Amino acid sequence: MKLLEAILLGLLQGLTEFIPVSSSAHLRIAGIFLEDGRDPGAAFTAIIQLGTEVAVLVYFWRDITRIVSRFFLGLFAVKDREGAVRVPRDDHDYRMGWLIIIGSLPIVILGLVLQHFIETTFRSLWIVAINLIVFGIIIAIADQVGRKRKKLDKLNVRDGVIFGLAQSLALVPGVSRSGGTIGAGLFLGYTREAAARYSFLLALPAVFGSGLYELFKVVREPCVAGAAAASGCTPELYSGVETLAATVVAFVVGLAVIAFFLRYISHGSFLPFVAYRLLLGVLLIGLLLAGVVQP
């Protein structure tokens, strides 16, 4: 049963990571219907997100390798045989490397400062429900009022920081990493495709950093059920094998969802995702008010 649960959570992670409905909210909500009825936890969520970010690496491999190589060539002013700098400082890929770094700073700083709240208070189902509704409305407004004209070659430091601040809101389940960053991009006038591509690339440093950090903590200081009372820790719901299975499933499904989502947003609106967020948020509030689930 535990292995099946983990696989289902990996499936849910892959399906929801890249569309603006908040994968962390879905994993949090799914936890109440599992055998133990317990939150899968921020650590488990962060670790299986590694699977979906590997999907980003695979899908955008050419873009990523080009950006990384040209960033370092430009950073160290590498010259060609004629003595000319191979990658000038105004090169698009060189600038993109810096913008991904700059855009990642807000979530790194806030993630470290707010770590305790991220693992406890922010995972309240009341907060999840409210965020699903409020940020669903914000995404709808952004999709309607955004001019959708700017491409990624227009990205500058100011916009990179705004994207980064929007991404940091995803530390709270219910916001949605893709929804927050794409919504910010639409408000700034970027096309859906441009905002989505930068959103996916921007997530790489933050999600890999968070996932690997949580993985390191679990491996270094495992919380064994029998010793939990003495140590004061909360035992992990899933074993290493179960977590690995969930991560692999998240990778496979996430890869397919990236391809679908990028094709969809070239002509479709965010209205279906907004409607789904609102329905889920209202349903969750109803369950909480009725006492069917506990926050």
Q: Where are the domains of the chain?
A: 2-289
Instruction: Report pLDDT for 239.
Output: 80
Residue range 144-160: mean pLDDT, rounded: 92
Local structure of 211: helix, strand or coil: helix
Contact (Cβ atoms closer than 8 angstroms) between residue 87 and residue 188? no
Tell me the per-residue pLDDT of 172-193, one tens digit each, with 9 for 90 and over: 999 999 999 999 999 999 999 9
Beta bridge partners of 190: 150
**Amino acid, single-letter form, for residue 217:** K
Instruction: Report pLDDT for 225.
Output: 45
How many residues does this entry show for the chain?
A: 295
Contact (Cβ atoms closer than 8 angstroms) between residue 166 and residue 180? yes
Q: How far apart are the first and last CA of the chain?
A: 24
Mark 227-247 as b/e (b = at least 16 C-beta within 10 Å).
eeeeeeeeebbbeeebbbbbb
Report the C-alpha gap between 132 and 120 in whole angstroms. 18
Report the C-alpha gap between 70 and 89 in whole angstroms. 10
Residue 204 CA to its chain's centroid (Å): 9
Report the C-alpha gap between 176 and 134 in whole angstroms. 12
Side-chain-side CA neighbours of 54 within 13 Å: the count stands at: 16
Instruction: Report pLDDT for 207.
Output: 87
Instruction: Report pLDDT for 234.
Output: 59
Report the C-alpha gap between 113 and 260 in whole angstroms. 35
pLDDT averaged over every residue in the chain = 89
| E-strand stretches of the chain | none
* pTM tops 0.75, yes or no: yes
Categorize the per-residue pLDDT at 230 as very low, low, confident or very high, splitting at 50, 70 and 90.
very low
In angstroms and rounded to an integer, the radius of gyration of the C-alpha atoms of the chain is 20
Instruction: Report pLDDT for 162.
Output: 96
Categorize the per-residue pLDDT at 221 as very low, low, confident or very high, splitting at 50, 70 and 90.
confident
Instruction: Report pLDDT for 227.
Output: 46
Instruction: Write out the two tokens for 123.
Output: 């995972």
Instruction: Report pLDDT for 222.
Output: 66
Choose the weakest-confidence range: 33-47, 74-88, 91-105, 235-249: 33-47
Instruction: Report pLDDT for 214.
Output: 81
